[in-house]
Amino acid sequence: MARRVIFDRTPLEKDFRQRIAVVRKLLDATDTSPGAAGSASLIDISREARGLSIVLLYAAYENLLKGISRTLLECAVQLNLGNRRLKPNFQLFAVHSRLRALTDVPANQIWKGAGRGVIDALLDKTCSINANIFPTDGSHMKTPQVATLCEVYGLNHPGPILREVWGRIDTVVTERNSIAHGQRTPEEVGRAYSIAELRNLVDIWERRWCEFLADVEGMASTRDFYRDPR
């Protein structure tokens, strides 16, 4: 009998690779190197394309992280575990709305209805996880956000898995933001990269993030990843 797949990385990996493929198509179409597809073009937009490629790499990475988070929470829900049987890190998502509500109630209500509601939710035999919650930490998708995601869910530290990509994340985020918010143009950002450098970044971006995704699948494919062993 085949083992039931709990966390299946296939849809997330397929979407991520498709997004990376778009970056390669953009680079191919605008590559002005001798003999390359864009060498015969009368208009050189290769620098702009390299800048836009950074934006697309960021988008692929952000979407992957949010997809991982959503899939982990959906897996917890599909296991039919009540809040009381979830591990504490998943219980946080089960009572998230109630915890947020506590910030808006008078102090004396902590000891009455509002506070008691959190405890009651933790002891619930049904699951109240909202899979659309993302554990943002305010770092706007820089390396601390990846570390926070892994810490919240009990995953391995991302640095040793992402390797050389780990040191590039903050730069990609900063450059993407500078384009998105109008501080720099795609041409200005793209000027900092040769076509070879950017192709190498695209390759390692795809490889390391897919390795990270595979590591998540390996850890999150047992019930004990989600369930308190008590």
Q: What tens digit of pLDDT does each residue of 170-208 get? A: 999 999 999 999 999 999 999 999 999 999 999 999 999
Does pLDDT of 105 surpass 70? yes
Statement to judge: residues 136 and 91 lie in one domain: no
Statement to judge: residues 63 and 141 lie in one domain: yes
Angle at 133 between CA 103 and CA 60, to 5 degrees: 135
| Residue pair 123/84 in contact by the 8 Å Cβ criterion | yes
Does the predicted TM-score (pTM) go above 0.85?
A: yes
Residue 166 lies in a domain: yes
pLDDT confidence of 1, banded at 50, 70, 90? very low
Residue 15 lies in a domain: yes
Statement to judge: residues 47 and 156 lie in one domain: yes
Could you tell me the CA-to-CA distances from 168 to 57, 138, 156, 159, 205 in Å, in that order?
A: 11, 19, 19, 11, 9
| Residue pair 165/202 in contact by the 8 Å Cβ criterion | no
Statement to judge: residues 110 and 164 lie in one domain: no
Statement to judge: residues 67 and 28 lie in one domain: yes
The token pair that represents 179 in the structure block: 């384009």
**What percentage of the chain carries pLDDT values higher than 90?**
80
Residue 39 lies in a domain: yes
Statement to judge: residues 41 and 64 lie in one domain: yes
One-letter amino acid identity for 170? Answer: D
Structural domain boundaries, residue 94: 82-126
**What per-residue confidence (pLDDT) applies to 103?**
81
The token pair that represents 219 in the structure block: 């850890």
Query: Average per-residue pLDDT in the chain?
Result: 92
| Residue pair 190/50 in contact by the 8 Å Cβ criterion | yes
Statement to judge: residues 115 and 209 lie in one domain: no
Residue 1 lies in a domain: no
Statement to judge: residues 101 and 65 lie in one domain: no
